[in-house]
Structure 1
């Protein structure tokens, strides 16, 4: 008893366009933005040898962190869920509107009401 067509998408389908080894165009954009910020950091004076080396280490560390976040898959059986999406989902879940329900009262139980009236 179907009401219409049923569409089944495999779990490994992703909406983004994959370019190279599970990296998408958006992932390369994040990496390029991090690299551009790193080049700007290196170009800012002072230009001492030790300071340049410290800046390069900071840029390499930042690029490694960005690429690690883009590569990590929090659910190993689902290749289409990325760490960024997982963190966003958890943040939205924590910030959602909470619903609280009151305990339902029994409609046929008048014994408590009768006990209160007899005490008075």
Structure 2
């Protein structure tokens, strides 16, 4: 017998507001912030032609990395899992407390510590 309503959400449901392709409003915020930081990097001196070209190449590479991180999906079948979320989940797991269970003792059996103490 059912106790209440059952809600089934498809796997591709995402809580973020999608703007264009698979990018969300938050993704565009990250890309805009990275672009502004890149423009500030280009604007700081020195202004020699070769140095400015080197700065532009560095900014283009950085923007490519940012857009790649926003675009790549670690699980291809699940479009709502992003690389950033996947790395955060792995980091939280490694930092979380792990549970270790001890093997159950048989009745009347002494542990290694108790055996050493008895000697």
Q: TM-score, normalised by structure 2?
A: 0.89
Show the counterpart of 1:3: 3
CA shift for structure 1 position 4: 1.1
In the aligned structure 2, how far is the partner of 1:106 from the partner of 1:20?
63
In our comparison, the structure showing a higher alpha carbon Rg is 1
What does 1:16-55 correspond to in 2, within 5 Å? 16-55=16-55
RMSD of aligned C-alpha atoms? Answer: 1.6
Helix, strand or coil at the partner of 1:33? helix
Q: TM-score, normalised by structure 1?
A: 0.88
Show the counterpart of 1:63: 63
Matched, 1:74 2:71: no
Residue-by-residue CA offset, 1:65-93 (whole Å, 9 max, x unaligned): 00000000000100110111111111111
Q: Flag structure 1 segments of 5+ consecutive residues without an equivalent.
A: none
Aligned residues: 112
What does 1:95-114 correspond to in 2, within 5 Å? 95-107=95-107, 110=108, 112=109
